[in-house]
Structure 1
């Protein structure tokens, strides 16, 4: 194995050990690009020098910075808008029926990056004030990146970030311009909380969420790690709750913990739940998409 290949392997092993994400051969081209800022900051000339530094004792801070730089934190408000339409018009009304007694809904966004998905969910509820009056809505966002979670907690976004997925009306209704950037309204933030957490750890408190979103995260895992992730997600979803995955992800052939839900593509239910039986009398037959 060439020296550079061995160095790439050390960095890939570090990322996998810390996050579970696999840096495949086809993705290793981006290592130097993703770490270019770190190279300048630490005076590092190439990946071989970085690998040598990472092998030294006491380089925990540098290792953390490397992992943070390699993580893909791409996100934006209302990403894949059709999914949020499905949530607003189908999934949330169904949860309202199932939680009519408690009038409480808890949601977990796993792999929330810098928080746009979580805030988009909060805005979805706030845009339907009549339906959700007197309800307790709790939305938790978790991500393995401390840097991303720290930004999410501030609720402050640049002009570029605020323009991605947000309409002018939503921007004016839910954000205010400040010297630091666009600040989300307190009424949005108060519905949310953020934690740094690895998806492969045990589900966060309170567990058994009514809805879990884990979009565009599992595709970075190898099959065995993906199965472990599904086990963790299963432990975090209520028996009659929902799991939403990304467009390029599915449970089919990946896990026996979940099955497709008839409530829409990308929607899944815990295996054996009464999800399908509950809707046979209320919904017309349809093809279940995996």
Structure 2
């Protein structure tokens, strides 16, 4: 499918205006892949015809469908397992100590897509049942895609989605077969997670004071000013003892002064104000 420069500019502008995400030139392939089914469904002869329809503003449903299609919803259970091991190690011990009196831990999965990351966190806590007995573990997954959040709330996945990242023992323990090739995640895990349609640059979800924030491979697609705003939102929402995890290709360096690298856990970030206060106490 040929993408004219004018059509690409309009699509990129629409996506950034509605979501804050940029459509980089090297992601033109995404337009082809994502919009081909919509072209067939609505019988548009070419992409310019589709874009013309969008420009008229006469079909909000079509506009929503196009935006949803252009969003990147790539995810799977325990994606890049090493970060999960890191997050559930040293930082969690620090959080456990800080929250010992109230026995409550809140975790925010930003850009959670169809829910696998949030459910992976829930599995990790559920499999340490004795350690967390009596604790309230609250996991919130947010994404701008309504269709992705709908699937996350349903907790239903294909055979391929369940097998991708999950060993057989976890698959059998936490899923039940439903229909041909379908798997339903357990009610226990679903009760641990709440999903919301929300843009990261908006106000943080409740409880607005999180112990962990995972925002992996989300900020890659944001313009610098939107990225700074996103960091500010997360800094406001993270407890002083909390930890932020970004994707492997993402960093706070040169992006924000609200976070610094976690001195004890390479690859994680902590609130700059809290780190500075800790340094003064040591000195």
Q: Aligned residue for 2:247?
A: 246
Q: Deviations over 1:34-65 (max 9, x none)?
A: 10000001111222111100011332111110
CA RMSD of the aligned region, Å? 1.8
What residue in structure 1 maps to residue 268 of structure 2?
Answer: 267
| Residues 15 and 67, structure 1, Cα contact 8 Å, conserved in 2 | yes
CA deviation after TM superposition for structure 1 residue 262, in Å: 2.1
Deviation sequence 1:180-234 (CA, Å, 0-9, x none)? 6111111111110100011111111110111111000001112121111111111
Measured after TM superposition, the shift of residue 274 of structure 1 is: 4.2
The alpha carbon displacement at 1:27 in A equals 1.2
Structure 1 277/57 Cα, relative in aligned 2: closer, same or farther at 3 Å?
closer
1:215·1:245 contact (CA, 8 Å) conserved in 2?
A: yes
Q: What is the CA-CA distance between 1:24 and the residue it aligns to?
A: 1.4
State the distance in 2 between where 1:249 and 1:37 align. Answer: 31
Measured at CA, do residues 127 and 3 of structure 1 come closer, stay the same or move farther in structure 2, by a change above 3 Å?
A: closer
Aligned ranges 1:168-183 → 2 under 5 Å: 168-179=168-179, 181-183=182-184
Q: TM-score, normalized by length of structure 1?
A: 0.92
How is 1:63-212 mapped onto 2 (pairs within 5 angstroms)? 63-179=63-179, 181-212=182-213
Rounded to whole Å, the distance in 2 between the matches of 1:220 and 1:267 is 20
> Alignment partner of 1:140: what SS?
strand
Structure 2: state its 5+ residue gaps. none
Q: C-alpha distance in 2, partners of 1:92/1:171?
A: 25
More relative contact order, 1 or 2 (CA 8 Å, 6+ apart): 2
- Return the offset for 1:68: 0.5
1:224 maps onto 2:230 in alignment: no
* Rounded Cα–Cα distance in structure 2 between residues aligned with 1:274 and 1:55: 48
The 3 A distance-change label for structure 1 pair 132 and 22 is same
Alignment coverage as a number of residue pairs: 279
1:252-276 Cα deviation digits (max 9, x unpaired): 1110111111232321111110488
Distance 1:212 1:164 in 2: 23
